[in-house]
Chain A
Amino acid sequence: MTSHVGRLYALALALLVFFLAWAAFAARPWARTAATSTSPQLRALAAREHRLRARSVLVRRVVARRWATYRAELQRRQARNAAAARLASAPAPSVRVVTLPPLTITRTS
């Protein structure tokens, strides 16, 4: 009786040890350590990604600055065009030489 119960406990313990070992093996803890600490390609890729991210920030800044310059120049050009259009559409001054006595005079201002 005692030896029968003992064998059951031993079997349960063996099953538990087996499943724990299987879970530990399935987790492959050695794979992560090897990838991060030993692969030079992965390190190079990570560094490249970092450089590209930094460069993209710079490019975004340059584009924003050029866009602002372009907008300001566009605004100036539109103002110049509007002024030119205003002048072009302004009625021509009505003036002619007459022999009347002047009502007022012009001189260097």
Chain B
Amino acid sequence: MNLPALAALTVAAGGLIWLAFQPPRFRFVEHQLGVVADAAIPLNITGTSRDDFLLRNQNTLILVRLEGNERRAVAQMNFPRGIGVFGALDVTGDGRDEIYAALRDSSGAVAVLLDGEGDTLQSLGPVKGPSWAAREPWDGWLVPMAGFVRDGRQKVVCRVLAMFARQPRGVAVYDLQTGVRDWFFAMGAWPDRAYLVDLNGDGERDILLESSSPANGAIANGTDDEHAYALALNQSGARLWQSELAGKFASVFLLPLPVGSAPGPLIVAATHSHEGDPPASSTLSLMDGRSGRILKRLRFARSLTRPFYLESGRPGFVVGGNDSTIRIYDLNLSLEAQRRVDGEVEVWAAIDLDADAEPEIVASTRDAILVLDRQLRPRGRLSTTEKRLDPTPVRVARADLLRSRLSFGEKVAVAADALPDYPIDDPDKLALVGVGAAAAGYGIRRVATRLPRRRRIPAGVTREVLTTYAFLVHGQFQQERPFERLRLWVQARCAGIDRPPWTLQGILEEWQGSGRAALEAFLRRLADAGAPPARLGRIRRLTHAFVQFLEDAARAPDHGQLGLAERALTAADALVLECCRAYWEVARRAACRADHATEQAVRARRARLSDLNIASDLRVEPGGDRLVLFERDALVSVVGELVDNAINALRGRARAELHVVVAPEPSDSRYLAIIVQDNGPGVLPERRGALFTPQGATRPGGGRGLHLARECARSWLGDLTYEPAPCGSGSVFRLRLKVVTGPESAMQ
């Protein structure tokens, strides 16, 4: 080997070794959600490792689930009015986020808390105050911030935000079960965010508040909105301490340091005051959590952004700033590292993205999203298409959740507001209109996907749930149908028919006859199948409401019956819908792709088909690739049975043909059909009636295959039918399968 070649080889080998020791770089993968929204936030509704996103589009919230590259809208919540503020937080402490939406109308401001299905848990408020100008309504909002448990009851901490009206403004705590307000702490400053931390060491978490100072003249409880404070309250609403940290037009960002990381409760406070008039310097302070006393303070010429705690190695925190610098400090406010970037920079999360026990820092400038490691070395960069006035807002999924929930590894999603192709001249309008939302995910090379396995439920249990569901929801309680008769009774009365054929008392008796027993059976099977207790509880509550209204209506005088009966009907509808959702939760575990199962069944018989010279084809029509309600193995067996039958019928025939088609049912989009057609001798008309009976074998030695196949199909709410070939001889077997649709459609 000559010398230049050897040199080149050495350089290449050196390069490879150098590359091998480089830390991984993060690759940004953009998922277009396909939904236009003016805001997007990540949240964890299911308590599992899935990425959920909540999108807002005017007065609609859409819950979108990203699974791999697929996206699916799982719930849509429509509100009668525009949604002011929305978000998600785990109020109940069960590891799942609840959704909140702040709304306002003439009665005042309310906050609606919803679960992951879009059902209302509680409506808080209304809160109302004086108008700030004649003929103007009160201009405030009621926004949930956190939840805690006190005396066994769930409480929700909310901020009350009067804008120009100035009052009421402050913090309120509501009881989640009753929706009643426990206490209200009035403030002049604008409350921003609340943390629940045990500050005084009494074992009870206190409320630590950060605030800002819009300076429109509000004064209450010793705070005014010309100053920004850090404020501590206990769970009864009594003030523990308050600390004035900045002047007007400023914001305070707090970072309570975790217990054990420092002696005593310590708080880091950063201030953002560059918009001040005149601009005030910003500060970074270390505070004593017990007294609010400032232990150490650093001053900066430009504003700082929210600090984030870095848990690995030497404890510290990272903070961005308007001076284009990201800084890492230790817990004594000594500078550990700093890095200059292009333009003002804001940190959005410090989170371990690649499961190497070292946190990565997610930050953004006006035109880029950055990922940096613990030493502030750049690891990834995504240029955003448009320049903004402020750093691009980034929301990191699960940034606020426990580390254990991040163990799913592959995807940590980032949602960034983006305006892909809509030209807006006025940059201020951009924030107001915000027409686009895109979600980007980090694909990380080194970590394999480790999604937690779902508890597998035996097919028999799932089938039992389906059977009882069909029995219940289709209203057939052994020929008694109280829900339907109640509906007809209400419709008749609304149409002016004075004497409907049924009485309310009769309907009530019908319910007490077999309806209640059917529902109980359904609930028992749901419980066996592992349905969530909250769902079962809701079904019981709605049942109680239905019976109560129906009894009241039956007892009421004639003129008062209609209103009560309508309320009973509403409860019955909600009950059926709830049953349907419960069914859905169980049923979707057994979903499979009809085209895949069919292909597997046909592929397994390809050798036999070619041995017997049978020309075969499998065609999947548009729409034939949808999920169906069927256990995959069972579906493969059923299709295999049909193909086997066709092969037996075609054995020894010249120009034998077998066609298998997977297509949506033309007249009913709720179903998909697998059609197996052959040009064999067909079934004699006199034997067709018994074809699907246990004794219906058409050839000597034939078994009960078709009988079992039909039973199986019917147990999954499908069907199997026979029809002669449309032209010439042959058979057509049509396997009808129920398509997996959303919970509302599943009612059909």
Question: Are these two chains actual partners, yes or no?
Answer: no
Q: Which residues of B contact A (CB under 8 A)?
A: none
Q: Which residues of A contact B (CB under 8 A)?
A: none
